[in-house]
A and B are shown apart, each in its own frame.
Chain A
Amino acid sequence: MTPAIAAKLALRGVGKSYGPVTALADATLDMAEGEFLTLLGPSGSGKSTLLMIVAGLTQPTSGEVWIDGRLSTYAPPNKRDIGMVFQNYALFPHLTIGENIAFPLRMRRVASVAIAAEVRRVLEMVQLPHVAERMPTELSGGQQQRIALARCMVYRPSIILMDEPLGALDRQLRDRMQLEIKHLHRRLGITVLYVTHDQEEALAMSDRICLMRDGRIEQIGTPEDLYFRPRTAFVADFVGESNIIAGTVAACGEAGVLHAAGGLEVRASIGPGIEAGHPVKLVLRPENLRLLHPGQEADNTAEGTLTETVFGGGVYRHYVTIPGELTLAVKQFTDRGRPAPALGASVRLGWSREHTVVLPHTELH
């Protein structure tokens, strides 16, 4: 008998395979009360499968699902005390907005007087107090999204699952809804398991991110963890922008030295487990690379030619080619008074030791 589990949601070795195809393998994670956890990953990474298993809409082929300390692996969705917001909102087209929101309460046999009051309450909460009599198709996408949230929050489920809820909205509306969901989360203290393939959305909203790849959990951690301390090159590549360079360790320890592509000698602190002679990957964030003035020094430097400059409003993105088939992306804030160097100019790049992330070269990619 497994001991009782205190976490709001606990997954223990959950897997799902369809015949020979493994959609999800050995997923284990805990979610605390009031946490906002995002499952992030490219399509086919298993994040939706995991969400569906938590929702009870898909049955896992192995492992256990604990919700609120109850073993719920194969419990039907209606016995799990969860709420789910779908990508297309899944508002019932034949019911009015009011009836849609009343649906979960009616399923729980709440008295009609109480239902009416609750419906009013959540409609005010999502700032749409006057739409109860309308049909879903009469509302805009953003409004439908808010109703879907309201319908989910009205019965105060233990966990709210959100499956790419903002995927169908345009950019501006998406940014606004991100904020609104975040506010609701903070104000009401709800526990949210969120799925998205958009890393910016994940970084912006989550307490923790669970990055998935090929049906496996690649790394779980705070957004800062994933960004600053990626465990693999995949994480570094998927979260934010990265220059990823192959290299070999020459000297280990705090004052380590690496030989990297492009004939570079790079100083970096090299963690335990990596020994001299090991192949590694270096991760350099474009915003941590600087174009050096003549005479300016840095822990690491590289000389190259400016081959392309992209103006992006607030930042430039420069591409600098180092002799030896290596091109690095560099981000630089724009400044009215200081134009970008001309294309073809020789430039010197610099970056500090602590901005050099060294990862073991264990992957085939």
Chain B
Amino acid sequence: MSGASLAADAAPGWGRAPLPRARVLRAWPLFPLLLFTAAFFLYPVLQILWLSLVDQAGSFTLANFSRALTTPVYARTLGITLKISAWTTVFSLLAGYPVAYLLATARPRTRDWLTLLVLMPFWTSFLVRTFAWMILLGRNGAVNKLLLALGVVDAPVSLIFNMTGVMIGMVHAMMPLGVVAMLAVMQRVDRTLVAAARTLGAGAGNAFWRIFFRLSLPGVASAGLLVFVSSLGFFITPALLGGRQQTMISQVIISIIQEVMDWRFASALAVLLLAASTVIFVLYDRLVGLSSLSGGAASERTARRPGPMARASARVGAWMTGALGTLCDAAGAIWDLAARSDPSRPGRAVGRAVLGTVCGCVIAFLVLPSLFVIPVSFTSGTFIEFPPKGFSLRWYDLFFSSPDWVAATVRSFITAVLTGVSATLLGTAAAFVLVRQRVPARGLLLAVILAPLVLPRIIIAVGLFYLYARIGLVGTILGLVIGHTILAVPYVVITVMAVLKTYDERLDQAAWSMGASRWRTLVHITLPQIKGGLIAGFLFAFITSFDELTIALFITGGGTATLPRRIWDDLLLQVNPTLAAVSTVVLVFVTVFIISAEILRRRSAAS
């Protein structure tokens, strides 16, 4: 071919590389979510920060903070908040670790089902679960009746409206989060390393503690972080299961806003909460590295030269795991001696049996309590009691014939559907860009988008309330949908990103090469294949909204209450069997939703 015809054939422009700014523009699907997040998350939170630092006249002041830290009642609340969160973290990790270990080492099918069992309570309404604990732990509750019947105690024990009740409720609420975080890291620990340690002469104890446990520590750390930070902002459990002594900071923020409307002081408390969360994150990043949170491999981290702090903690850790390993193997040797193990006979898997029993108890603790609302809802009596008196549908009747309850349910449903749609649209578009393009400051953008997942919700709720109060969105479904979308988008982004990462992009390239436009490729090739991930993302967003109380607490009320808001009000005022009926309906509804979301997610991840 001659040079002249080459020049004639070339379409104008195709011979030139695209201009550099086009790359930024190509990331346009990310912009809606970024703008949305900036307007309804970053701005309100910054606004709170600002409010906490200026007085009425607009000049800088630290008065709000000094008041929060020096007034005994507030300082004490801060202390209690930290204490409850710390203990919740400790118990959640201790009980959650064996479960995560069992899941990580189980066969894939078993793991899938057990994971669902562990996650169910995480997604089931916090309110329903807390209500179930109120039924169980009360003076005449099921637990006390059982203990009395067994003769363990002579008089009812007080399990509720005190630290015991709060701890039970908090650990129950938070452990699934911890298990999932630990499981994510444990699944990436190469199992042949444990086998290698065994062949190199390590007993089961040494192989576990020195190798597996040591390598699972980033997971323990990220679980601890997530549980601690989530606990800091909690208020449902301490309010319903705790006494006056267990008031946490979120409860104080709520009452300050609802009762005295002192925005500046409430903001200062919220900022303290924010600061505490941030300090934890920074500490964590120093010790473990934040990348392990978003699923970065533990081995990446170890390749980096550790700092002095990490080295010191590593040395202490190595010594401790080594000691534990040696101790366990010594115990094992004594056991072998006592049980006369014989190399010509197969050994019995004692460790596995113990693990199974422990995990069975923990999973029962996670799953069973919520189920108690079901029998209670069919009582024919006028009080909540277990076992229930007789059988009737009167409380369901009452629920479905009450205009208040029905209106709240419908409002929650509409809000959840709209939230699901908007979160799916915004999140999916963003996920595409985040997975497929090289975006500048990708890590930072992702951190901002996912932040609502880990930040105490109360901070976002207060910020949104302040914003809404000025632009007239208080009490509107639009306002709810906006707030819930901020909370739900991270789930969509994570789900869709996961699906897209496994998607073979060569299929799209094949479609382009055959003449399909980018748009037609998206509609006919990509979307049909990631459909499962999208629907799962939608369902997770739906559930997040359907169960959301914190934002609803501030911006709805009376005639505009959502279902969780109604349940909350009734739980505070008077516990009645209608609540059990409502809870049962919510429980069944949410369970069906979650199982279908989970099945869809798995199917699309498997394909």
Contacts and interface: CB of A to CB of B under 8 A. Distances in A.
B215 interface: yes
Say what secondary structure dominates the interface of chain B.
helix
Nearest to A52: B195
Contact of A137 (B190, B197, B303): B303
A90 B344 contact: no
Contacts of A151: 200
B449 interface: no
Chain B interface size band reads 20 to 34
A57 B206 CA distance: 16
Contacts of A79: 343
A82 B303 contact: no
A145 B206 CA distance: 24
B298 interface: yes
A55 B192 CA distance: 12
Given A71-B344, A78-B202, A135-B302, A103 B192 contact: no
B214 interface: yes
Nearest to B298: A93
B506 interface: no
Contacts of B342: 74
B343 A86 contact: no
Given A73-B344, A88-B190, A90-B193, A137 B302 contact: yes
Contact of A86 (B192, B202, B344): B192
A241 interface: no
Contact of A57 (B193, B199, B303, B344): B199
B345 interface: yes
A333 interface: no
Interface string A151-193: 1100100000100000000000000000000000000000000
B200 A103 contact: yes
Nearest to B342: A74
Contacts, number: 88
Contacts of A41: none
A254 B299 CA distance: 65
B198 A57 contact: yes
A104 interface: yes
A59 interface: yes
Given A84-B196, A137-B299, A76 B211 contact: no
A336 interface: no
A74 B347 contact: yes
Contacts of B298: 93
A138 B302 CA distance: 10
A78 B192 contact: no
A135 B343 contact: no
A77 B195 contact: yes
B193 A161 contact: no
B192 A71 contact: no
B343 A75 contact: yes
B200 A107 contact: yes
Interface string A51-76: 00001110100001000001111111
A94 B195 contact: no
Interface residues of A, number: 36
A311 interface: no
B435 interface: no
Interface in A93-111: 93-94, 103-104, 107-108
Nearest to A99: B318
Contacts of A56: 198-199
Contacts of B192: 86, 88, 90
A86 B195 CA distance: 9
Contacts of B193: 90, 92-93
B529 to A, nearest CB: 29
B289 interface: no
A90 B195 contact: yes
A76 B200 contact: no
B473 interface: no
A8 B344 CA distance: 18
A107 B169 CA distance: 43
Contacts of A137: 299, 302-303
B204 interface: yes
Contacts of B203: 76, 78, 107
B12 interface: no
Contacts of B198: 56-57, 76-78
A83 interface: yes
A93 B297 CA distance: 11
Contacts of A135: 302-303
A104 B201 contact: yes
A76 B206 CA distance: 13
Nearest to B198: A77
B472 interface: no
Contacts of B190: 88, 90
A67 to B, nearest CB: 10
A20 to B, nearest CB: 17
A138 B206 CA distance: 25
A107 B345 contact: no
Given A90-B195, A137-B303, A83 B344 contact: no
A76 B204 contact: yes
A83 B343 contact: no
Nearest to A86: B192
A21 B330 CA distance: 37
B559 interface: no
Contacts of A78: 198-203
A82 B202 contact: no
B346 interface: yes
Contacts of B200: 78, 83-84, 103-104, 107, 151-152, 155
A129 B326 CA distance: 30
Contacts of A80: 199
A137 B193 CA distance: 14
A74 B346 contact: yes
B234 to A, nearest CB: 34
Contacts of B202: 78, 103, 107
A102 to B, nearest CB: 10
B302 A55 contact: no
B350 to A, nearest CB: 13
Given A84-B196, A88-B192, A74 B211 contact: no
Contacts of B346: 59, 74
Interface string B435-455: 000000000000000000000
A94 B204 contact: no
Contact of A74 (B204, B214, B299, B345): B345
A103 B200 CA distance: 7
Interface of B: 190, 192-193, 195-204, 206, 211, 214-215, 298-299, 302-303, 342-347
Which 3 pairs of residues, A with B, have the shortest CB-CB distance? A90-B196, A107-B201, A77-B198
25 contacts: A55-B195, A59-B346, A71-B343, A71-B344, A72-B343, A76-B198, A76-B203, A77-B198, A78-B198, A84-B195, A84-B200, A86-B192, A86-B195, A88-B190, A90-B193, A90-B195, A90-B196, A92-B197, A93-B299, A103-B197, A103-B202, A104-B200, A108-B201, A135-B303, A137-B303
Interface of A: 55-57, 59, 64, 70-80, 82-84, 86, 88, 90, 92-94, 103-104, 107-108, 135, 137-138, 151-152, 155, 161
Given A56-B199, A137-B299, A155-B201, 4 more contacts: A57-B195, A79-B343, A82-B199, A104-B200
